[in-house]
Amino acid sequence: MGSPHWKRLCLLLLAGLTSSLLLYTHYYTTVESPTSQRIIASLLQPEPLVLAPSGTPHRRWALGGSSESGNSFKPSAELEEPEPSRQQPRTCLHSVMARAKADPKFGEIFRFDTPVLMWDQHFTLATWNRLRTRHVPYGWQGLSLAVVGSTLRLLNASANRHLFDRAALPGGCVRCAVVGNGGILNGSRQGQAIDAHDLVFRINGAVIKGFEEDVGTKVSFYGFTVNTMKNSLIAYEEYGFTRIPQAKDLKYIFIPSDVRDYVMLRSAIQGSPVPEGSDKGDEPQKYFGPEASAEKFKLLHPDFLQYLTARFLRSEILNTQYSSLYMPSTGALMLLTALHTCDQVSAYGFITANYEQFSDHYYEVEKKPLVFYANHDMMLEAALWRSLHRAGIITLYQR
């Protein structure tokens, strides 16, 4: 039998172990509980999270695929509240929505209640927990809560909820032109027709000076990722693209393809240099102007990007080892954004069946073949534009 001293030592050790278990249980029930998770999330923000109102309708939609891996598309996902800006007026009898719903094929593909833009009230704990399992641009896998939350918190104006204000536009149908940079526009003389639209979307290396007769001058929206914007400024500088479009009423549409898009967007709204990452020290004012406020910026919702990819542009690349690299092109995302917000949409400078007759870009002096990037499926996109044109859902400029 052990000595009394040894017994006392055993009792002390047992008491210590019991205390540790009690402390751990207290920690788990307080810090790790759902209630405390909300408290922790709120502490990361100066303002508390605003949860979606009770009774807000939710919808589940099939995306195809069955893998539960964080790097794959979920079979279904909860959507946020419907976005009011996409409600098209009944007075526009031949709207995108009306024609899509009447089409046997596209009537099953379009879901006009999918949120197009993300803003601060979409950033809930439930949304964070759901999207952090999907890689960018379809989610927030690998991104920090602090970066995403601090960016979305700044998108708190009514202008961040809607792509445009219908009340500020003429009644009837809102007509939008989406202008790609394809060589088909060189010599097209479509500038006046493009500018006649209510809203004009442009992307990446949107050279205007010297090509006004072919591509017009009007710019309502400029869509990009930070990567495509910066690459365009380098690659097309020799053609006169020395800065992205700037104007008082112009709005910028961020495509969140990487953490740098969230970081750049946050710095742009705050009017301060980029504090971290690959763009550290960069000054957003030189891109967006010295007086860019939060109202000038829009952020596409990761759910919207997943919906577009899964339903409209589900490439075979997604079935390969390079699936994580694939995403639709900037032009495709802008055209599909317009299709979900505008009443009537015209597409200029996009790939047509006879694309080989034209240069890669309209501003190139010498003809260059179209470049096919490994992370896009341009032929799939071209087939989609032809199908939408045949269905009367878009008007595709062809020559």
Question: Could you tell me if 299 and 119 are in contact, meaning their C-beta atoms sit under 8 angstroms apart?
Answer: yes
Class of domain 96-396: alpha beta
pLDDT tens digits, one per residue of 322-342: 787 889 999 999 999 999 999
**Count of other CB atoms within 10 angstroms of residue 192:** 10
Please say whether the beta carbons of 52 and 127 come within 8 A: no
- In whole angstroms, give the CA distance from residue 120 to residue 364: 41
Task: Catalogue the E-assigned strands of 123-197.
Answer: 175-179
Strand partners, 395: 346
| pLDDT (tens digit per residue) in 153-204 | 999 998 999 999 988 887 789 999 999 999 999 999 999 999 999 999 999 9
Q: What is the pTM of this model?
A: 0.78
Q: What is the spatial distance between Cα 216 and Cα 10, in angstroms, rounded to a whole number?
A: 86
Taking 50 as the threshold, does the pLDDT of residue 65 lie above it? no
CB atoms within 10 A of CB 303: 24
For residue 300, the 8-state DSSP code is B
For 76-122, what is each residue's pLDDT tens digit? 333 333 344 445 455 687 899 999 999 999 999 999 999 999 999 98
How do 199-203 and 395-396 pair as beta strands?
unpaired
| Helices and strands of the chain, counted as H and E runs | 13, 7
Confidence of residue 72 (pLDDT cuts 50, 70, 90): very low
224-246: pLDDT as tens digits = 999 999 999 999 999 999 999 99
Is pLDDT of 10 > 80? no
Give the tokens for residue 22: 């009690």
Where exactly are the structural domains of the chain? 96-396
